[in-house]
Amino acid sequence: MANFTEKVYKITALIPRGHVSTYQAIARALKNSHSSRAVGNALNKNPYAPKVPCHRVIRSNGQVGGFARGSAKKTDMLRKEGVAVKNGRIDLKNYLYEPKFKK
């Protein structure tokens, strides 16, 4: 069975271009809703970018959140993919992808 970090990468790789998911949604997909901080820590060390698009993972309140290359770079990458970012926020009603984890 894959370890936690590998599962996070597998789920994150499913997020389609032009959409975002949240740290919390990924934690829920892993059946551990209290692990959103651990999801963020795993993505901060992502060696598979851009195949594993960690820039598409945001905070559950719609804020862009952190990124190893800076939040301005993350915002720029999301906008280039067609995600509208206004005042550092994304409207989750229009762009949210809820991942489902398959073992």
Rounded to 5 degrees, what are φ and ψ at 38?
-65, -35
Cis, peptide link before residue 50, omega less than 30° from 0: yes
Joined tokens for residue 89: 């926020």
Sorted by sequence, the CB contacts under 8 Å of residue 26 that are 6+ apart come out as 8, 11, 12, 36, 39, 57, 99
Q: Which residues are catalytic?
A: 54
